[in-house]
Amino acid sequence: MAREPTQQLTRWLNELARITDEPGKLTRTFLSPAMRRANARVGEWMRAAGLAVREDSVGNLIGRLEGSRPGAKTLLLGSHLDTVRDAGRFDGALGVLLPLVALDMLRQQGRILPYAVEVLGFSEEEGVRFSSAYLGSKGFTGTLRAADLKLRDADGIQVRDTLETLNGETFTLPRAAHRRSDLLGYLEVHIEQGPVLEAQDLAVSVVSAIAGQSRGRLTFYGQAGHAGTTPMGLRRDALAGAAAFISTVEGIARTRPPLVATVGTLAVSPGAPNVIPGEVTLSLDVRHPRDRARRAALSRMLGLAEWIARRRGLRCTWELTQDGNAVACDPKLTRVLAETVRKLQGRCPALVSGAGHDAVVMSALTPVAMLFVRCRAGRSHHPDEYAAPEDLRVALRATLTFLERFAG
């Protein structure tokens, strides 16, 4: 890899962004054909950087570099290779490719770290396909549960089916890839996905905590019927009920900052212009840095869903697909990272992440730290996602210094 490191990183990010399930936009979901191609390509880059590459039974890509000291512990660095629909180039991919560039720089300088390093490309973080996030890191940390395997995608395919196809055999729940005592920690580099660093004119910063998150599917059941012949007073319109619910959710979240709540998908059945909607399923995503506030808001929303349904002669059901508490980053690791950042840019305010990250699940196995990189206009989960090469350079230097600090 002869080119300037930030240029190399940008080239890789651009090439990875062309590996997609949907022509004309970037979409890669759990174990999709594009995800398989992404793993193959990033695996080649890992090998070229001197790492030994393997894939685990949930499709995580793992590149390992042994240290010079036999039996030394392992530092984990990584993020996810799946994306949302019509995604940007940086979310997830940056946290896999930037450490790879850093390790390749050390290799070219003939530097061998005393400890082992693994670069992890998780197979699923976004929760797009099964409405539940972190299947990759759950597999890696041995926290995947039988209930996760029963989740279904929009075509009715279960997580278990996809994993049996991947492994060509009956799937058994994996154990943690490492013992806690063998690990030094986990570092995740990620774009901020929000506007704070830009407002503070900073390239990077550290994360103190990651907000808790609940997700699920709510279904309103009414009565499908003829749109021309059924008088308004005699209808049981599931979509009209869902619409009332969506406004209610927005109203609740607006009055309780920093609570955020989103209905991001809506499936209307039977789905014809001249048929009254008989059934509507919507996704609900609720987040708050304080777990009690998140739980209280969710239960108020679900109570109001019941009330809306009753008033309209509908029925509703709720299926919780994900429920995770807020997670604190490790103070010691974060202090080391913050010191390196302060040397580079003076200030290093700790941010709370409203977005979920693999670090949430990894924290069950090992101490975690996160480095956030400024992104333009705070835009993310959108093709306009952008982090400037100058900021990537600062993130790369911070990561290299962090690696050196462990060597000391």
Selection from Mn ion, ligand GLV, none that 356 binds (CB < 5 to 8 A by kind) is ligand GLV
Please identify, using beta-carbon distances, which residue of 5 and 356 lies nearer to ligand GLV: 356
Please identify, using beta-carbon distances, which residue of 268 and 352 lies nearer to ligand GLV: 352
Minimum CB separation of residue 265 from ligand GLV in Å reads 13
Please identify, using beta-carbon distances, which residue of 248 and 283 lies nearer to ligand GLV: 283
Minimum CB separation of residue 261 from ligand GLV in Å reads 13
Minimum CB separation of residue 60 from ligand GLV in Å reads 17
What DSSP state is assigned to residue 58? T
User: φ and ψ at 201, to 5 degrees?
Assistant: 55, 50
Instruction: Round the CA-based radius of gyration of the chain to a whole number and report it.
Output: 23
119-129 per-residue burial string, b: 16 or more CB within 10 A, e: under 16: bbbbbbbbbbb
Residues 385 and 379: beta-carbon distance below 8 Å = yes
Report the interhelical angle of 5-17 vs 93-108 (nearest 10°): 140
- In 3D space, the residue among 261, 264, 260 whose CA is nearest the CA of residue 381 turns out to be 264
Minimum CB separation of residue 368 from Mn ion in Å reads 14
Please identify, using beta-carbon distances, which residue of 17 and 243 lies nearer to ligand GLV: 17
Burial bucket for residue 283 (CB in 10 Å: 0-12, 13-18, 19+): middle
Please identify, using beta-carbon distances, which residue of 126 and 391 lies nearer to ligand GLV: 126
Please identify, using beta-carbon distances, which residue of 92 and 174 lies nearer to Mn ion: 92
Show contacts of 312-317: CB within 8 Å, 24+ apart: 312/222, 312/236, 312/237, 312/240, 312/241, 312/244, 313/222, 313/236, 314/220, 314/221, 314/222, 314/236, 314/238, 314/241, 315/220, 315/221, 316/218, 316/219, 316/220, 316/221, 316/241, 317/218, 317/219, 317/221
Minimum CB separation of residue 406 from ligand GLV in Å reads 27
Please identify, using beta-carbon distances, which residue of 139 and 356 lies nearer to ligand GLV: 356
Selection from ligand GLV, Mn ion, none that 192 binds (CB < 5 to 8 A by kind) is none
The tokens describing 312, both together, are: 């309209």
What residues line the site for ligand GLV (CB under 6 A)? Answer: 126, 355-356
Please identify, using beta-carbon distances, which residue of 132 and 340 lies nearer to ligand GLV: 132
43-65 per-residue burial string, b: 16 or more CB within 10 A, e: under 16: bebbeebebebebbebbbbbbbb
| Interaction residues for Mn ion, span 141-200 (CB under 5 A) | none
Selection from ligand GLV, Mn ion, none that 94 binds (CB < 5 to 8 A by kind) is none
Our finding on whether 216 is near Mn ion (CB under 5 A) is no
Selection from Mn ion, ligand GLV, none that 237 binds (CB < 5 to 8 A by kind) is none
Q: What angle do CA 391, 1, 78 make, to 5 degrees?
A: 55
Minimum CB separation of residue 126 from Mn ion in Å reads 5
- x/- letters, 124..143, toward Mn ion (CB under 5 A): --------------------
| Interaction residues for Mn ion, span 48-107 (CB under 5 A) | 91-92
**Distance, C-alpha 209 to centroid of its chain:** 15
Selection from Mn ion, ligand GLV, none that 212 binds (CB < 5 to 8 A by kind) is none
Selection from Mn ion, ligand GLV, none that 104 binds (CB < 5 to 8 A by kind) is none
Q: In a 3-state reduction of DSSP, which class is residue 10?
A: helix
Minimum CB separation of residue 357 from Mn ion in Å reads 6
Minimum CB separation of residue 206 from ligand GLV in Å reads 18
Judged by the rule CB under 5 A, the positions of this chain that interact with Mn ion are: 91-92
